Structure 1
C-alpha cells in the first residue's frame, strides 16, 4: 500500500499499512471517519502519519504522497484533534510546508546519484530548524546538517572586528561545509566532519553521514552562491524581520551589540545575493 511512496522506509510503510487495516472496519459505522481519527490518536499516530493513513482510507492509490488536502482537512477538523491542534496551528502549517519541501526534493534529480541534498535557508529566528525537523520526519529521518556546526573558530577580538561583509564571509566556514559534506555526498562518498563546540569555541565531536538518502543542510547562508549548485532543491523561510528579532532576543544567548552585528551580516547577505529569488520554494514563516 505504501511500499512505493517516495521518502518512506519499509518499516514506516508497514506501520502505516497496519494503521489503515485497523481503521478500515470503523468506516462502516456511523461517523466512521471520526472513530478512525480517535483510534489513530489513541494509538499514538502523529498528525502527519494520521494524514497519510486518512489519505489511504479515502481511497487514494499507491505512488507519491501527492495532494493531501482532503485527508488533511479530515484530520484537522476531527474532534479527536481539536483539543491539541488549536494551540499547535503553526506546527500543523509547518507539516504542510514540510510536505511541499519534501515533494520538491523528490522530483527527478538534476544530477545522477542516489543522494538528494536539500538546503533550507533563512535568517536567524526564521524557523529553519523547525522546518528541517519536520521535513526529516516526512522523509523518515533524513540526516540534518546544521550550518551552525561550521561556525569558524577564531579569537573573539578578531571576530568582533569584522564588518557586515566580512562577517558574511567569515562567521561560518562554508569552505569546510563544501569540502567535507557537499562534495563527498555529491560524489556518493561518506561525509566526515567535526562539529563546532559552542562551549569551548573549538571543533569537537566527529560525525559521518553515509550517501544514498536525503540530507538536509539548514542554516543562514546555507544557499550562498558558492554552494547553491550542490543542492537538488532549495527552500527559503521568509519570516518578518521583526518576528525573527523577537525570537533571537528571547533565546537570551547574545547581547544587543552582537545581535546588531549578526543581523548586519545577514542584511548584507540578503541585499547582495538575494537567496529568496534563487530558492526553488519560498516558505512563509510565522
Structure 2
C-alpha cells in the first residue's frame, strides 16, 4: 500500500471532485477499515496531494475502550460544519490517558476523516466519498506492532473485536463507495 498510496489517493480525490459537497460547502472523504490496513498512509497521501487537512479518529477516541463512543463524537464535530460553522475536536493524549486539547475544525473545500470508525453512520451520512481499506489480518497486526510497538499487542484482540462490532453495526464496508486494497496488489475499486 505504501508505494501505491499515491495512485489510490488520486483515485479517491478524483471521485470526490466529481461529487457535490455534502458537509455544507465541504467535500468530506471518510477513510475507514480495520487497524493496520493502510488508512493513515492513504489519507496522508490524499492530504498532501490536495493540500487538505486530515483528521484522525485515533485523536478523538477516549483510549482503547473509546470506539463505541466515536459515532456520537463525530456527530458533535460534523454538525456545525454542515451548517458552515467551525466544529471543535477534543484531542486524546494516549500517553497521558486523557483528553488534553481542543482544536477548531474549520469549513474547508476538502476534509479527510481517517481511522477506524470514520465511516460510522453519523459521518457517512455527511460523506462525499466513503473509502474502505482492507488488508490481511497478519499484515495488519505486523503493521500495528511496527507502528505502536509492543504496547499495542495486549490490546489487539479486544480492539479487533470492537472494530468488528462497529463495522457490523454500521455496515461500513458494504456502504463504501470505493474499496482500496491495503497491500497495493489491486487497484482501487469503485463500488457505488
Please, what TM-score do these two structures have when normalized by structure 1? 0.58
User: Which residue does the alignment assign to 1:178?
Assistant: 75
Aligned residues: 182
More helix by share: 1
- Offset, 1:281: 0.4
- Offset, 1:258: 1.6
> Does residue 42 of structure 2 align to residue 146 of structure 1?
no
Q: Of the candidates 110, 114, 127, which is equivalent to residue 218 of structure 1?
A: 114
> Does residue 183 of structure 2 align to residue 282 of structure 1?
no
Higher relative contact order (CA 8 A, sep 6+): 2
> Does residue 23 of structure 2 align to residue 94 of structure 1?
no
- Offset, 1:182: 1.1
Query: Is there any run of 5+ residues in structure 2 with no aligned partner, and where?
Result: 184-192
Equivalent residues in 2 for 1:34-113, closer than 5 Å? 90-109=1-20, 111=22, 113=24
Whole-angstrom CA distance in 2 between matches of 1:112 and 1:145: 15
Q: Give the SS at the match of 1:227.
A: helix
Whole-angstrom CA distance in 2 between matches of 1:256 and 1:108: 40
User: Which residue does the alignment assign to 2:170?
Assistant: 273
- Offset, 1:110: 5.9
- Offset, 1:244: 0.5
Please, what TM-score do these two structures have when normalized by structure 2? 0.85
Larger radius of gyration between Structure 1 and Structure 2: 1
Q: 1:209 to 1:112 in 2, by over 3 A?
A: closer
Query: Is there any run of 5+ residues in structure 1 with no aligned partner, and where?
Result: 1-89, 160-166
Q: 1:247 to 1:211 in 2, by over 3 A?
A: same
Q: Give the SS at the match of 2:73.
A: helix
Whole-angstrom CA distance in 2 between matches of 1:210 and 1:112: 12
Whole-angstrom CA distance in 1 between matches of 2:49 and 2:102: 26
More strand by share: 2
Work out whether residues 19 and 128 of structure 2, in 8 Å CA contact, stay in contact via their aligned partners in 1.
no
User: Which residue does the alignment assign to 1:235?
Assistant: 131
Cα RMSD of the aligned pairs, angstroms, is 2.1
User: Which residue does the alignment assign to 1:248?
Assistant: 144
User: Which residue does the alignment assign to 1:169?
Assistant: 68
User: Which residue does the alignment assign to 2:40?
Assistant: 129
Work out whether residues 183 and 230 of structure 1, in 8 Å CA contact, stay in contact via their aligned partners in 2.
no
